[in-house]
Amino acid sequence: MVGNWTPQRILLVRPSALGDACRTVPVLASLAEAWPEATIGWVIQEGFEDAIRCHPDLDEVVVFPRKALAKWVTRPWVMGRSLKWLNSLRRGQWDLVVDCQGLVRSGLMSWSSGARVRVGDRNAREGAWLAYNHRVKTADHTHTVDRMMSLLEPLGIDQVHDMRLYTPPEATGRWQTLRDERGLNEPYMAIASTTRWPSKAWPDDHWVSFMKSMDQQGMSSVVLLGSDSERENVAKLAGRLRDEANIDVHDLSGQTSIGDMMAVIESARLTVANDTAALHMAVGLGGRCVGLYGPTDPGMVGPYQLNDQVAHVPSESPVNYRDRSLGDSVMRNISVGAVLEVSQRVLKKTRDEPGSGDPGGAGP
């Protein structure tokens, strides 16, 4: 235990990925609860700032320009820029650093900060553990959020399991304006149908069947989310939904900032998503969500403390979701009926809660 000590400047290191950053906010909330007078900063990857910058417990956003500093090991000119950026962290005069990522890059950030107390996972990969002077033994088979929260143990502070995210107000305004322009005045569902890893994607024909059933229950509008690189795949699903399910489709893939996506999710009656960042955003934006899981374990990476809001069919034998030869073979086993049942349950559970669903538009 660190002992009777009050840090004045705290740096949280969790640059990426976007979904993991969203799942790190309980660590921020815990630090702020323990030391309300301290200044807290967060190192986050450039482009992801909207996910955290409006959180009331955060004082400073330290942007990590990942793309500009890519391949620093093999490019001497980038190496120089990387060292300059790392050295800039020391100017923050941090007292305490908590590294929630545990990779060589975040370890270098922690070390370069110059903080007297540097906390991280004893089993951090790529040698990152060498950067810490307080190394925590974390459990191997536990949820990602709980593993990160266990890093607070040496500090002797209480854990605050607050997953709330805060949408930038300007993004909320942009989304309301766009809704007005599109005439999207009814409650809608948000869908994140694509993923970086094909093995984690529910098949399009399942999405079509699912939305046909939801349309019969009065959910006749859907907003499709996705990155710029996913636009082609999302457009194909959008076309099928219009032609086969005959519903009102709004394809926003590649057209939203992180903040805009948060606004869409926050106003949605329900968000249904594969194991993606959109799902973990939804957890922090009201929890009106359903997660679809196949090759990944929701017990470790599912929507935190929302175990009953998951449709999961594990593979018959251990698989690695990074194995692209899997295709959708595991996810295809998640039945439309199973997702429909979970969705109906979540809608019923949240329908009468104060402030639930569609805060930016018409109610049900």
pLDDT category at 80 given cuts 50, 70, 90 is confident
Task: Please indicate, yes or no, if residue 341 is contained in any of the structural domains.
Answer: yes
Task: Count how many domains the chain has.
Answer: 2
Query: In this predicted structure, what is the pLDDT of residue 194?
Result: 95
Same structural domain, 134 and 211: no
Q: Say if residues 204 and 90 touch (Cβ distance below 8 Å).
A: no
Query: In the prediction, which pLDDT does 2 show?
Result: 63
Closest Cα partner for 2 from 40, 32, 29, 34? 34
Q: Which residue has the tokens 């046909």?
A: 212
What single letter denotes the amino acid at residue 307?
N
72 has a pLDDT exceeding 70: no
In this structure, are 42 and 74 located in the same domain? Answer: yes
Query: Which of 1-5, 211-215, 333-337 shows the lowest per-residue confidence on average (mean pLDDT)?
Result: 1-5
Residue 350: predicted pLDDT: 81
Are residues 190 and 313 both part of a single domain? yes
Residues 128 and 228 in one domain: no
Q: Where does a domain end: 155, 179, 210? A: 155
199 and 147 inside one domain:
no
The pLDDT value recorded for residue 359 is 45
Query: pLDDT tens digits, residue range 261-299?
Result: 999 999 999 999 999 999 999 999 999 999 999 999 999
Residue 73 inside a domain? The answer is: yes
Residue 80 lies in a domain: yes
| Claim to verify: residue 201 and residue 108 sit in the same structural domain | no
Count of CB atoms situated within 10 Å of the CB of 45: 18
Contact between 124 and 99 (Cβ < 8 Å): yes
CATH number at residue 203: 3.40.50.2000
**Structural domain includes residue 85:** yes
Q: Which amino acid is at 343?
A: S
Q: pLDDT at residue 362 above 50?
A: no
Asked if 285 and 344 sit in the same domain, the reply is yes
pLDDT value of residue 353: 62
The yes-or-no verdict on residue 357 having pLDDT over 70 is: no
196 within a domain of the structure (yes/no): yes
Q: Which two tokens stand for residue 88?
A: 């800039």
| CA-CA-CA-CA dihedral for 138, 86, 35, 48, to nearest 10 | -80
pLDDT for residue 356 is more than 60: no
**pLDDT digits over 212-241, tens only?**
999 877 788 999 999 999 999 999 999 999
Q: What's the chain's length in residues?
A: 364
| Mean pLDDT score of the chain | 92
Residue 3 has pLDDT above 70, yes or no: no
pLDDT at 124: 96
Residue 332, pLDDT > 70, answer yes
**pLDDT of res. 1:** 54
Average pLDDT over residues 147-154: 97
Could you tell me if 204 and 307 lie in one domain?
yes
Same domain, residue pair 104 and 174: no
Whether pLDDT at 245 is above 80: yes
| Listed residues 99, 133, 155: the one ending a domain | 155
pLDDT at 352 over 80: no
Kindly indicate the confidence band of residue 363, based on its pLDDT and cuts at 50, 70 and 90.
Answer: very low
Query: Does residue 79 sit within a domain?
Result: yes
The model carries a pTM of 0.93
Average pLDDT over residues 189-217: 94
Q: Is residue 218 part of a domain?
A: yes
Residues 185 and 128 in one domain: no
Which residue range(s) make up the domain with 205?
169-351
**Domain boundary, last residue among 120, 155, 190:** 155
pLDDT digits (tens, 9 = 90+) for 16-38: 999 999 999 999 999 999 999 99
Q: Are residues 144 and 211 in the same domain?
A: no
Q: Which amino acid is at 225?
A: L
Residue 39 lies in a domain: yes
Indicate the residue type of 78.
Answer: V
Pair (128, 203) in one structural domain: no
Number of other residues whose CB lies within 10 A of the CB of residue 56: 10
